[in-house]
Amino acid sequence: MASLVKPYPDQTLSHSQMKMRMGASGIHLFDRMKGLNILLDEVRVPPNLWARAPRQVSIALTNACDLSCPYCFAPKNPAWLDVDEVIGWLTELDADGCLGVGFGGGEPTLHRGLPDLCQYAAKRTRLAVTFTTHAHRLDDTLIAALFGSVHFVRVSMDGVGNTYEALRGRPFAAFRERMEKLRNLAPFGINFVVNAHTFPDLNAAIELAADVGASEFLLLPEQPSRTRPGIDSSTTTALREWVRFYGGCVPLTISEAGSDGLATCNPLAGEMGLRGYAHIDAAGVLKSSSYARDGVPIEASGVMAALELLRKHLGEDAQ
């Protein structure tokens, strides 16, 4: 994910909250409570000291979802990850320099172990904890169970009003009410799949994001899948023009897969590929991204062993 707009407010540094990661781009200090990143890029770190784990890892806890969005790329075969197994992966990733984990799916709030996993990661590791949700299951009970164990939430909102309801099959008014509740849980951002149907709603979506207090707006140009071709060329051109003249107050970010042709800021360009990001699907297969078809099953030897095998498979330098 790359930033398109990067306003950083003044922060008071709390050393007790900072996690240090060493890599090709220098020494990266991260405060998961404030979202503060400090990069000491003048420091040249020897390759043998680089963090072994990806900077960020997403974990699909389940393929189950109670919505039927037409552009969803998640597998439809039933799959649920075991909580104890995931805890083992979190422990490994934390020890080897990962900075954050994002739980997804499917819909992660359908997995009964979500609160336990968030609590473990927040209290027993130094990982930043996020999850991506359609938000419709975020009632007071679940928010109470997650409170204090989540550092950021990503909410999927593809279109507003009638567009949202046509694509997601849920009342938009109810969705907005859920976002209001999120303010009591953690800072949150909005994920927005961009295609020909949703692009006309972008301005209204940005206005809503500002109104509900979203911290960022993540653009996700629709990627090709087995059943859909992805964003078309004319919409891609229109999106680039929209970004070029964007003047809203909500910071924009964009998926790495959809960032071609856009002026983005990536201060960690030395940590691309599996050094920057990896995905674990709901069958326990480690992949280069959630869109990748092939990966390496995580066996009893653990997630880091699977990572080394995947690096070899993709031809990435182990250093």
* pLDDT at site 184: 87
* pLDDT at site 181: 87
Q: Is residue 1 predicted with pLDDT exceeding 70?
A: no
* pLDDT at site 71: 81
The mean per-residue pLDDT over the stretch 189-205 comes to 96
* pLDDT at site 47: 94
Nearest C-alpha neighbor of 306 from the set 20, 25, 54, 21: 54
Q: Which of 6-10, 135-139, 288-292 has the weakest average pLDDT?
A: 6-10
Share of the chain above pLDDT 70, in %: 94
* pLDDT at site 69: 87
Q: Is residue 12 predicted with pLDDT exceeding 60?
A: no
**Sequence-distant (≥ 6) Cβ neighbours of residue 229 within 8 angstroms:** none
List beta partners, residue 2: 254
Q: Which residue has the higher pLDDT, 264 or 205?
A: 205
Q: Is residue 310 predicted with pLDDT exceeding 90?
A: yes
Nearest C-alpha neighbor of 114 from the set 127, 123, 102, 97: 102
- In terms of Cβ atoms closer than 10 Å to its own Cβ (0-12, 13-18, 19+), residue 302 is middle
Share of the chain above pLDDT 90, in %: 78
Domain locations in the chain as residue ranges: 48-314
Q: What is the mean pLDDT of the chain?
A: 91
- Report whether 193 contacts 220 (CB < 8 A): yes
Indicate the CATH number for domain 48-314: 3.20.20.70
